[in-house]
Amino acid sequence: MADLRSPPPPPSAASPPRSTTDLFGDPIDAHPLWFRQSSFLHPDFDSEAYIADLRTFVPFETLRSELRSHLSSLKHELVELINRDYANFVNLSTKLVDVDAAVVRMRAPLTEIREKIVEFRAAVEGSLVALQSGLRQRAEAEAAKEVLQLLLDTFHVVSKVEKLIKELPSVAADWSNGDVKTAEKDHLSNGISLQYTENGTNLRETQSMLLERIASEMNRLKFYITHAQNLPFIENMEKRIQNASLLLDASLRHCFVDGLEHRDANVIYNCLRAYAAIDNTSSAEEIFRSTVVARLIQKIIPHNSAGVVGGASQDELDEDYKQIKQYIEKDCKFLLEISSTENSGLHVFSFLANSILKEVLSAIQKGKPGAFSPGRPKEFLKNYRASLDILAHLEGYCPSRSAVAKFRAEAVYIEFMKQWNVGVYFSLRYSNWLSAGLAARKAGNTGSNPVSEWAISAVPDDFVYDLRQLKGITATYRMTNKPLPVRHSPYVSGVLRPLKAFLDGERSATYLTRDMRDELVQGAAVEITGRYHELAADLVSVARKTESSLQRIRQGAQRRAGASLDVSDHNVSDTDKICMQLFLDIQEFGRNLAALGVEAAKIPAYRSLWQCVAPTDRQNTISF
């Protein structure tokens, strides 16, 4: 390497003077712009591609000259680098003595540390395996302990249920004995505890309380069995569990029937809670249907209709439904009130649907199957309306909107509504309408439109069913402290809804001209308003007569008591409340007529209706 080292310049030698070109021109070793030294430093540098790219615009000789010049400069820089660090390069050989031994000495502690780490890792892995095994065994032991505890609890519950069932009376006569002292004496003589009997509580109620407790234990037993299925211990106890369940069902049925017969509210409440606890609500509903409802319904609609006089009247349901309503109010209301008690947990029962409505549907299907036939449209419509009315009556026993929604979602309710083939009825009705219209057209009556006249006359009979709800206004405000009404009744919105639905239908748009449609709407509005006026006027007249009679009775009582007759009652009377409600209703009715393009003020019946119910200061001005 000594031959690469250039001798240093003599100290006395002076540097040659630099030329003007070196001072003001380009450096001597400057490269052209196309020659970039950084290209050689790229990792993916390709010499052949580099030369091929430059040969397109640089002569080969020039390129070779530049490359050689660059190589010469690189060698010169390498020599300068070696000369600068020459002493270090020479001394490097003296410092690298016994390097292998030093490496061995350095590896020895590292090897020792590695061996210790391996040993420690093996020990940790062994401890981890042992710990995992211990945890697994502990988990298995805990699971076995839980299963054992579950089996013990199951055994204790079964024994407890059997013990409690033994405390139930063994003869049916004991259920009807309400004397606590007699029952206590009998039980004490038989060695049976009466720990559940309290002063003033009869034996029937005590047994219902005991059954409720047994039912709660059976519910707990079902929970245990669900979590311990397919175990030999449970399979061996299955027969005992089934026997206990059968005894509970029989005793609970007996107690529930006895409570229904005696109308014992406490007994019925306890029995229903017991049925709810064992999730057997269907049995309670079926017992109530077969023991109470069926007996009442069969008196009204006997299954064997051979003795009924023939004719269309035997399939009418209106009178039957009236009697059914009376029976429900008299014999079923007490149970419905018990099952709808707040915070009792008895909302799971559906006696309205699965007991009452189910028996009504069964009785009609067996005793009056022709009631569902749309072959006689008038009778079918009458029965259909009566059925909707009985459904609305049943919904009146629902304590909340959610209860109404649940009632309508019941399978029996849906099945009952499916019996009424309304589509076939409307097809027959429409066929009758067309037949009547064609017959009238053939008759040659050109003075009027017989089809529209017939349709107008049919409207009150087919579409004004909602007006019957006017009678409910009297029941709402008679002998109550309710304030004056501030909004219209819900039934008003439904009075014109069928007519509007007919006018918006496809058949109306197809077969009715604009003039026929206007004539039909105007005529229907007049007929409906006339019927509305008749019902409202009769309602107001009855209300005023009733109030006058009550006033005379009140004055007579005051006269007999010697009280002053000059004291007047400044409170709003019930008749005023009824008239105000009707006034709000006819205002909404007038707005609905206006939506159909009918001016209510031009209908004489509407003007009479307005003057009948409007306040004194608004008698002469009709405004909505």
Q: How confident is the model at residue 208 (pLDDT cuts 50, 70, 90)?
A: confident
Neighbours of 160 (CB within 10 A): 16
Q: Is the dihedral of CA 258, 262, 263, 264 positive or negative?
A: negative
Rg (CA), the chain: 52
Pick from 286, 298, 297, 282: which is nearest to 260 by CA? 286
Q: Residue ranges of the domains in the chain?
A: 46-91, 146-180+189-277, 293-420, 464-556+572-618
Confidence at residue 305, expressed as pLDDT on a 0 to 100 scale: 53
Residue range 143-168, pLDDT digits in tens: 888 888 888 888 888 888 888 888 77
Q: What's the number of CA atoms in the CB half-sphere (13 Å) around residue 40?
A: 7
Q: Quote the percentage of the chain above a pLDDT of 90.
A: 13
SS (H, E, C) 371-395: HHCCCCHHHHHHHHHHHHHHHHHHH
Tokens representing residue 507 in the block: 């058949």
Question: What is the arithmetic mean of pLDDT over 452-468?
Answer: 58
- Region 50-68: what's the mean pLDDT? 86
pLDDT confidence band for 341 (50 / 70 / 90): confident
Q: Is the pLDDT of residue 524 over 50?
A: yes
Give yes or no for residue 176 having a pLDDT over 80: no
- Cα dihedral 30, 32, 35, 38, rounded to 10, equals 40
Higher pLDDT, 349 or 189: 349
Give me the mean pLDDT over the 329-358 stretch.
87
Band of pLDDT at residue 39, cut at 50, 70 and 90: confident
User: Dihedral of the CA atoms 446, 448, 452, 457 (nearest 10)?
Assistant: -130
* Angle at alpha carbon of residue 239, lines to 235 and 240, rounded to 5°: 110
More confident: 457 or 143: 143
Q: Average of pLDDT values for 1-26?
A: 47
Q: What is the mean pLDDT of residues 347-375?
A: 89
Q: What pLDDT sits at residue 119?
A: 93
Indicate the pTM of the whole model.
0.52
